[in-house]
Amino acid sequence: MNYLLTVIGPTAIGKTALSIALARHFGCDILSCDSRQFFKEMKIGTAVPNDEELAQANHHFIQNKSIFEEYTVGDFEREALLELNNLFQKNKIQIMVGGSGLYVDAVLKGFDSFPDIDPEIREKVRHDYETKGITSLQEQLQELDPDYFASLTAENPQTLQNPNRMMRFTEVCLSTGKPYSSFLNKEKKPRDFTPIIIGLEAEREKMYERINLRVDIMMQQGLLDEAKILYPNKALNALQTVGYRELFDYLDGKISLDFAVEEIKKNTRRFAKRQMTWFKRTENAQWFDFKTPPEDIIQHIDAIIKKNNIS
């Protein structure tokens, strides 16, 4: 039986350190499912594992794409499953780690299958957004898929403010003549592994303290210089990311540098809160305090594997 040890939790909680400890113990590789660590041009602001950490275990999907490439969660699902298939030939235990809930779910449960989109419709939807703003997309979705619009309003309102997600919803509706929600929750392809999901958490104040410290360290490491290099491409989707957006506003002369840093901290704290809301819905996840020794978590994993092998 194959096992995918999956480490989840909010940003700055210690997922990288735990995943390396697990990889060293089980002699396996690590797949990153952090949707921003894929991009090679974004290193400091995405908290990519440092050279010393990368040397302690084989990592996959770290800085393997460019911000100029279009890379979707569906692309990641396909590539990650292929990589896992190869890795399981060497070791029946592998590790996946990251804070991007949608990408975690894509690998563990499968991603909903959508039809190809007519390029003309895709261009029209983008043009509508660029000329009329996100309100036009919200109005179209409410008309084309009122049930899904209502569910987003009640359960995930921030999604209604995400231009890329809203354009996606609208183009699917227009291309197929069917509600976007009609393509969700279809029967997924079975996985040839059993997930063992480990969540790391901390009291809110401690989590926020760790986030604030990480931002200060990023600034010391040269995050502003990295943002200056990326600034000419600030409109790219990959760069619509906390830590970069705020510094782009500073470089635009809209805010001071001190204010930008405080905004990074505030927006990262909000992001961590959303991450926890998402991950707490994960079925069969075992949650540990971030200070839990790796040995205790390994003992928990070993017990699950032993139980499965007996049964």
- Residue 14 annotated as binding site: yes
Q: Where a domain ends, among 183, 202, 226?
A: 183
Spatial distance between the Cα atoms of 5 and 1, rounded to a whole number of angstroms: 13
pLDDT digits (tens, 9 = 90+) for 78-126: 999 999 999 999 999 999 998 888 889 889 988 667 777 888 888 889 8
Residue type, 242: V
Say which CATH number the domain at 41 has.
3.40.50.300
- Residue 74 annotated as binding site: no
State the total domains in the chain: 2
- Residue 46 annotated as binding site: no
Instruction: Clarify whether residues 213 and 143 are in a common domain.
Output: no
Instruction: Clarify whether residues 227 and 95 are in a common domain.
Output: yes
Confidence band for 157, pLDDT divided at 50, 70 and 90: confident
- Residue 10 annotated as binding site: yes
Instruction: Clarify whether residues 203 and 89 are in a common domain.
Output: yes
Instruction: Clarify whether residues 135 and 45 are in a common domain.
Output: no
Instruction: Clarify whether residues 259 and 289 are in a common domain.
Output: yes
- Cβ atoms within 10 Å, residue 241: 20
Residue 210 has pLDDT above 80, yes or no: yes
Provide the domain limits for residue 248: 3-111+188-310
- Residue 72 annotated as binding site: no
pLDDT value, residue 135? 93
Instruction: Clarify whether residues 220 and 247 are in a common domain.
Output: yes
Which parts of the chain fold into alpha helices (H)?
15-26, 51-56, 73-87, 101-109, 119-132, 134-144, 146-155, 163-176, 204-221, 223-230, 245-251, 257-279, 294-310
Residue 300 has pLDDT above 90, yes or no: yes
Contact 58, 29 (CB under 8 A): yes
Spatial distance between the Cα atoms of 278 and 293, rounded to a whole number of angstroms: 25
Instruction: Clarify whether residues 73 and 219 are in a common domain.
Output: yes
Instruction: Clarify whether residues 172 and 202 are in a common domain.
Output: no
Instruction: Clarify whether residues 80 and 166 are in a common domain.
Output: no
Say which CATH number the domain at 140 has.
1.10.20.140
- Residue 9 annotated as binding site: yes
- Residue 13 annotated as binding site: yes
Question: What mean pLDDT do residues 24-42 have?
Answer: 95
pLDDT value, residue 188? 67
